Chain A
Amino acid sequence: MLYREAGQFKTTYAEDMAIFPIRQDRMALAILLGIAFIGVPLLANFHIWPFGSDYLLRAILLPFLILALAAIGVNILVGYCGQISLGSGAFMAIGAYSAYKLGTGVHVPLAWLGFAISIPPLPVLLSILLGGLAAAVVGILFGVPSLRIKGLYLAVATLAAQFFFDWVFLRVSWFTNYAPSGSVNAPTLDFFGLVLSTPIERYLLCLIFVTVFAVLAKNLVRGNLGRQWMAIRDMDIAAELIGIRPLYAKLTAFAVSSFIIGVAGALWAFVYLGSWEPLAFSIDRSLQLLFMVIIGGLGSIMGPFVGAAFILILPIMLNLIPTQLGVPLSTETITHLEFIIFGSLICYLLIKEPHGFARLISLGKEKLRLWPFPY
Chain B
Amino acid sequence: MIALGQFLEVLIGGLLSGVLYSLVALGFVLIFKASGVFNFAQGAMVLLAGLALVRSLDFLVTKGFPLWAAITIGIGFAAVIMAITAWLIERFVIGPLVNQDGLTLFMSTIGATFILEGAAQMIFGSDAYPLRLFPTDAWFLFENLFPGGILVNKLDVWGGLIAGILVAGLAIFFQRTKTGRALRAVADDHLAAQSVGIPISWIWFVVWFVAGLVALVAATVWGTKLGVQFSITFLALKALPVLIIGGFTSVPGAIVGGLIVGAGEKIAEVFLGPHIGGGIEYWFAYVLALAVLLVRPQGLFGERIIERI
Contacts and interface: CB of A to CB of B under 8 A. Distances in A.
Contacts of B280: 167
Q: Which of B106, B126, B248, B286 has the most CB of A within 10 A?
A: B286
A37 interface: no
B108 A350 contact: yes
Contact of B290 (A160, A171, A172, A347): A160
B135 to A, nearest CB: 33
B306 A153 contact: yes
Q: Which of B92, B102, B114 has the most CB of A within 10 A?
A: B114
B244 A153 contact: yes
Contact of A343 (B97, B112, B126, B294): B112
Given A156-B289, A336-B121, A347 B244 contact: no
A351 B117 contact: no
A336 B111 contact: no
A346 B108 CA distance: 7
A90 to B, nearest CB: 11
Interface in A114-163: 145, 148-153, 155-157, 159-160, 163
Nearest to A84: B103
Contacts of B223: none
A340 interface: yes
A54 interface: no
A151 B290 contact: no
Contacts of B282: 163, 166-167
A94 to B, nearest CB: 15
A332 B126 contact: yes
Contacts of B240: 156, 159
Contacts of A150: 306-309
A149 B111 contact: no
Contact-residue size bin, chain A (C-beta under 8 Å from the other chain): 35 or more
A289 interface: no
A326 to B, nearest CB: 21
B104 A336 contact: no
B119 interface: yes
Nearest to A172: B277
Interface in B87-141: 92-93, 96-97, 100, 102-104, 106-108, 110-119, 121-122, 126
B293 A339 contact: no
A84 B107 CA distance: 10
A335 B120 CA distance: 12
A20 B279 CA distance: 52
A170 interface: yes
B115 A148 contact: no
Contacts of A172: 277
A290 interface: yes
B102 A152 contact: yes
Given A145-B294, A157-B293, A340 B38 contact: no
Given A236-B308, A343-B118, A155 B106 contact: yes
Contacts of A344: 111, 115
A347 B115 contact: yes
Nearest to A171: B277
B106 A152 contact: yes
Contact of B114 (A151, A167, A346): A346
7 contacts: A84-B106, A156-B293, A160-B287, A171-B277, A344-B115, A346-B114, A347-B111
Given A156-B289, A346-B110, 10 more contacts: A145-B294, A163-B282, A171-B279, A172-B277, A335-B118, A337-B122, A340-B122, A346-B107, A347-B111, A350-B100
